[in-house]
Structure 1
């Protein structure tokens, strides 16, 4: 499933065992919601959380928000039943943790097919281990169901014995390899979470950095992070206006048999037009999502 212009600026984790939080998510302006059955749920609450999450998805009421269920790994006591239940609930995607090979994707896909998953139910893969990063290209290309890569930076920092730093230089290689794999396969890719809820300035800086790296959006752990994340990852009015003018000017130039045109004193070629079309499509998709979720 190639990446679309569906907005994924803000993707908020919600604990699978908290029905009240899932109800509240219906009014939070996140582009997507991940109902989490893995890290956020204690072992003795897994089965009850599975039922709560699936009921939330089946019940709907989330407007145009993309709904994702994060299941436990298939090698855990809960993973297989999580996937079976998720397929019946019909979310937009199933997110699987700690993906380290194409074979893991194939195993999930086979289980989804056997469990009656809709053809439109996508696979999202968490990349959060050294082996996952080193095999990210094969993971990204493993199945037509794969639609997004999600960075699990907390686990990755731990596994490589690195440190969380403002510039994230210890993570630069891992993040860049995953972004390259996503773009090579036409997938969406989401940045990892920011853990310090008191550091609003640091969070915003991390969003700006993620945008500059090439991420489509960021995974979030608290509703207070949604608005600043949406603001950073959305094209502003000036960028959209310039993009529209680039598209129009280049179309006129092509009618005259020209392959380049000057807009605001800058040379514009076809590659700039492609990016301008992406910006406009994203802005329109954000507007449509806001209308659908109002």
Structure 2
């Protein structure tokens, strides 16, 4: 799947940030029509993002181009889709996703719009943002509801409010939800993406949280400010030591195969399938980050 270490929210009502979003270097850009836009500015933001996506001279670099629409249950969601679906749009983030029906409904609307606009059906991917207790409990059904869906992600602020808790530095309020969403994503064969870290001045706190969720198994983390992108990339990019160890694991496995041995070892440690999978994932992430060539 595509590399999605970092995902930058860009307010849909900020022309300067929208036009320059490609220079920030995020793996994913998410032009936001929901939380960062007040009701009185919804129309203007929708039109602005729609025109931006249709303007082919705007360079988004290597970033995946996505939009967070408003929930389809609001007066804005369907109108957002009508305005933004076009050739350059690569994905849609659906907020407040609580059930598989939410995903299926969006899938059907997208299919209709792709057909009407002469686009390849299924080319626009879906990403479900889970922000309520009900959504967490339905995470697997959500994650497996559509072939378009490539990741599920947790909306930390809204979920914390729904739980009646408080976000703390130790992350305990969201710990169980993060685990459940990760389990659902892996069971469904899609990516798991983490929520934002709201204190843009606390780079150390962001780094520690990003490292923690990476070690849990998450594939990436959202950002609300361009300054957070480098920190997230550092947390999700393998170190030289990790890459070297992963290489040695794969080499030991290949040597064992050539020698006709069903058992591979690295030093005094046996290499089993989970160790190999982890090594393969590290090397794939290193290649995606440009640290290794695709041939290596």
**TM-score of the superposed pair, with normalisation by structure 2:** 0.92
Aligned-pair distance for 1:284? 0.9
How many angstroms does 1:255 deviate by? 2.0
Q: CA RMSD in A?
A: 1.7
5+ residue gaps in structure 2?
Answer: 292-296
- TM-superposed CA distance for 1:274, in Å, is 2.1
The CA deviation at 1:258 is 1.8
> How far did 1:266 drift?
2.5
Match of 1:74 in 2: 72
Give, in angstroms, the shift of residue 89 of structure 1.
4.7
The counterpart of 2:5, out of the listed 9, 24, 38, is: 9
Is 1:87 the counterpart of 2:90? The answer is no
Q: Secondary structure at the match of 1:88?
A: coil
1:220 counterpart = 2:223: yes
CA distance in 1 between partners of 2:211 and 2:47 (Å): 37
Work out the CA distance in 2 between the residues paired with 1:12 and 1:180: 24
> CA offset at residue 264 of structure 1?
4.2
* Shift, 1:201, TM fit: 1.8
Q: Distance in 1 between matches of 2:108 and 2:167?
A: 37
The CA distance in 1 between the partners of 2:262 and 2:83, in whole Å, is 53
SS in 2 for 1:68: strand
Distance 1:56 1:47 in 2: 14
Structure 2 partner of 1:62: 60
* 1:246 partnered with 2:249: yes
Q: Deviations over 1:125-183 (max 9, x none)?
A: 00001110011110011011111112100000011111111111121111100000001
Could you tell me how far 1:185 is from its partner in structure 2? 1.0
Counterpart for residue 133 of structure 1: 136
| Alpha-carbon offset, residue 252 of structure 1 | 1.6
Q: Is residue 194 of structure 1 aligned with residue 197 of structure 2? A: yes
Q: Separation in 2 of the partners of 1:274 and 1:284?
A: 15
C-alpha deviation, 1:198, in angstroms: 2.2
Higher relative contact order (CA 8 A, sep 6+): 1
Q: 2 CA distance for matches of 1:72 and 1:164?
A: 24
* Pairing partner for 2:20 from 15, 20, 24: 24
Secondary structure of residue in 1 paired with 2:20:
helix
CA distance in 2, matches of 1:62, 1:259: 48
Contact 2:95–2:130 (8 Å) recurs in 1 = yes
- Alignment partner of 1:256 is 2:259: yes
> When the two structures are aligned, how many residues end up with a matched partner?
285
Give the SS at the match of 2:290.
Answer: helix
**Aligned-partner Cα distance in 2 for 1:146–1:55:** 25
